[in-house]
Structure 1
Amino acid sequence: MTEASLNYEVFDRQVWQKFGQQDHLDLDQSLTPTVLSKLKAFNDQISIDEVNVIYLPLVAYIKMQYGQYCQMRQARSTFFNQKQVDSPFVIGIAGSVAVGKTTTAQLLQYLLQAEFGNEEVALVTTDGFLRSNSELEAMGIMDRKGFPESYNMAALLEFVDAIKDGEPEVKAPRYSHDVSDVLLDEYDVFKRPKIFIIEGINTLQASPDAPVYLSDFFDFSIYLDAKTDLIEHWYLDRFVALLNQTAQMQDPTNFFYEWTQMPFDQAVQQAREVWNTVNYPNLRDYILPTRERADLILHKTVGHVINEVWLRKF
């Protein structure tokens, strides 16, 4: 074990896949390679074998945690002689850009919906709680987009607080990666699902303005981990794929359009500079230091293959 894993029990693929087999979901052949390709994020990689080996045991574990959560909620209500208010079980998913958070979040949502129902498992990303580009420019921190100060953490904390309070309806602002900005007056509305998945690079971070972590509201948290040079490779690989896609679309409103108007090598060099000056410092200084706050760490290697699962001991 590495020093970072001292608080965790580490399982390799061969051991992990044996857990919870009696609770593995019968997907009734619904999760075909075609369906899986729609669940994964753009240019990400995942296989049916990865689902069977890693994600089915993980879903079985989450189901166990959810059952214990419901029992504890009932016991608490009984102890205090209070009427129980339904409060969603909240799962947080964190990690660097380009590490595969979106794929993990969407796949978990699909698998949990197969168990609990489509309306009972919701998913939201923290991207919608970024300050708008106009706000960031006015604050002079456009080059710090994605760093802690670029989020409206007060609004995000209010959102998750409303979720845990069991509010009958909550709404989250929408974000478009096509234009790389928050969409004005557009929201996703959620009506008290049983399970709420919140995904984003900042889901395990403290608020700059309050002595509270977003993860304080979570009932289970996951961190997607990989060596930094691998994440950089995935980031640049995704950039090239997006560049090629945008070049075919020829849509001037697309965020990547301006890069299609310059020589390919120059565009890739600029993307590498963005990694070195923005994404890597953000990972090093703010994202990676929160890894050990997670209940479970999925460690990836070449090809986005998860080779180890780290589960917190206590």
Structure 2
Amino acid sequence: MNMTEPSMNYQVIKREDWRKLGQTASNDVKSKLTPQVLSELKAFNDQISLDEVDAIYKPLVAYIKTQYRQYGQDRKVQAEFLEQPQTPSPFVIGIAGSVAVGKTTTAQLLQYLLQAEFGQSEVALATTDGFLRSNEELVQQGIMERKGFPESYNMPKLLEFVDAIKDGDEEIRAPKYSHDISDVLPNEYDYFKRPKIFILEGINTLQATPDAPVYLSDFFDLSIYLDADTDLIAHWYLDRFVALLNQTAQAQDPNNFFYSWTQMPFDQAISQARQVWETVNLPNLEDYILPTRERADLILHKTVGHIIDEIWLRKF
């Protein structure tokens, strides 16, 4: 599926126009990235350059800062009207998009750049992966083959987590997920202590499900969707699979999720990976992820090499 025309409530900004719009404001962005730091921030086998940071992400951080200031003013006015004290409530950014589209790199890069502005402890990041039901639960419910689809997530628990963030709870925790074993880690958590900005990243951050009819995005102060043509995403997915396969083959860890794939002929492994894309990830994208795209406040459209060529900014 290719990118459709934007709906009337989005303004489309070309890459170079976005760069120019943000030039003055992005001069105030404090972070000075080096190639080494950028390499550490990007997700496994992802692609991003310092030019991409300058053209897209520094202006984006400048824009987020304006939204953060407005958020603080709105909360102050509301508290004054209600004659109530203004309570702490983090500014929440949601990042959505398909598998392999680069959500993790975007989230980690934004966290790093925003930490330079607000302080390291003031910008937190979590993924929705930890709110997947455990593999044991999925097997018991007969939906293991639906892992990643909406019903495989514990959405009530995820909504409770995001609600606690917005309520300004002093400390909250998120379950840990291991991609090495492709499962939730029992009784292991990441802890967060009321940051100023909270970034939540995952394929389902703009979704609602029957067991949790409220949209996660209702809790967001800014939502971002990473978009690309489906054929490109499929290519990135298979590229990442091959890289993971090679890495796992070198490590020779039988506990690794990809280990069993290394024990079969390469062509067979690739064939099975394509089948996973066509029967799991593609239907999930077309039926559940892509339809949420226009709930986002801002859409980053990618082309070959993960280069962002257009920004769709919601007008109203």
TM-based fold match above 0.5:
yes
Q: Map 1:17-32 onto structure 2 (within 5 A).
A: 17-24=19-26, 30-32=32-34
Q: Choose from 225, 228, 233 the match for 2:227.
A: 225
Q: Where does the alignment leave 5 or more consecutive residues of structure 2 unmatched?
A: none
What are the Cα deviations for residues 46-82 of structure 1, in whole angstroms up to 9, with x where unaligned?
0000000000110000000000000011111111010
Residue in 2 that maps onto 1:153: 155
Is the CA contact 1:25–1:115 (under 8 Å) kept in the aligned structure 2? no
Superposition RMSD in Å = 1.2
Measured in 2, the distance between the counterparts of 1:240 and 1:5 equals 37
Which residue of the partner structure matches residue 79 of structure 1? 81
For residue 238 of structure 1, what is the aligned residue in structure 2? 240
Aligned counterpart, 2:212: 210
Shift of 1:226: 0.2
Q: Which runs of 4+ in 1 moved over 4 A?
A: 25-29
Distance in 1 between the 2:138 and 2:233 partners?
26
Which residue identity is paired with 1:111? L
2:190 equivalent in structure 1: 188
Aligned residues of 2:31 and 2:113 also touching (Cα < 8 A): no
Residue 36 of structure 2 is matched in structure 1 by 34
Q: Write out per-residue CA displacement over residues 179-229 of structure 1, whole angstroms, 9 at most, x where no aligned residue.
A: 000000000000000000000000000132132101000000000000000
Which SS does the other structure have where 2:156 is aligned? helix
What is the rounded CA distance, in whole Å, between the counterparts of 1:173 and 1:133 in structure 2? 14
CA drift of 1:2 comes to 4.7
Quote the offset at 1:107 in angstroms.
0.3
Aligned to 1:138: 140
| In 2: Cα distance, 1:86 partner to 1:11 partner | 34
Q: How does 1:1-314 map to 2 (within 5 A)?
A: 2-24=4-26, 30-314=32-316
Matches of 1:111 and 1:99 in 2, distance apart?
20
CA–CA distance in structure 2, aligned partners of residues 26 and 252 of structure 1: 48
Q: CA deviation at 1:4?
A: 3.4
Find the residue that maps to 1:92 and give its secondary structure. Answer: strand
Amino acid aligned to 2:220: F
Structure 2 contact 170–193 (Cα < 8 Å) conserved: yes
SS of the equivalent of 1:17 reads: helix
Distance 2:216 2:107 in 1: 17
- The superposition leaves residues 25-44 of structure 1 with CA deviations (integer Å, 9 ceiling, x where unpaired) of 56677410110000000000
SS state at 1:9 partner = strand
Stretch deviating more after TM superposition (277-286 or 26-35): 26-35
Question: How far apart are 1:19 and its partner, in Å?
Answer: 1.8
Deviation of 1:83 (Å) = 1.0
Q: Secondary structure at the match of 1:108?
A: helix
**CA 1:2–1:141 in 2, change beyond 3 Å: closer, same or farther?**
closer
Secondary structure in 2 matching 1:266: helix
SS in 2 for 1:91: strand
The DSSP-based 3-state class of the residue aligned with 1:311 is strand
Q: Distance in 1 between matches of 2:160 and 2:154?
A: 10
Contact 2:6 2:12 in 1 (8 A): no
Q: CA deviation at 1:295?
A: 0.2
Q: How many equivalent pairs are there?
A: 314
> Which has the larger displacement, 29-38 or 101-110?
29-38
Could you tell me which amino acid in structure 2 is paired with residue 259 of structure 1? W
Does the 8 Å contact 2:95/2:103 carry over to 1? yes
For residues 94-145 of structure 1, the C-alpha deviation after alignment (integer angstroms, 9 at most, x for no partner) is 0000000000000000000000000000000000000000000000000000
SS of 2:6 mapped into structure 1: helix
Q: Distance in 1 between matches of 2:29 and 2:48?
A: 17
Q: Give the 3-state SS of the residue equivalent to 2:46 in structure 1.
A: coil
Residue identity opposite 2:107 in structure 1: A
Mapped to 1, the partners of 2:273 and 2:27 lie a distance apart of 41
TM-score, L = length of structure 2: 0.97
Q: For the Cα contact (< 8 Å) 1:94–1:201, is it kept in 2?
A: yes
Give the letter for the 1:272 counterpart.
Answer: R
Residues 266-292 of structure 1: per-residue CA shift (max 9 Å, x gap):
000000000000000000000000000
Secondary structure at 1:43's aligned position in 2? Answer: coil
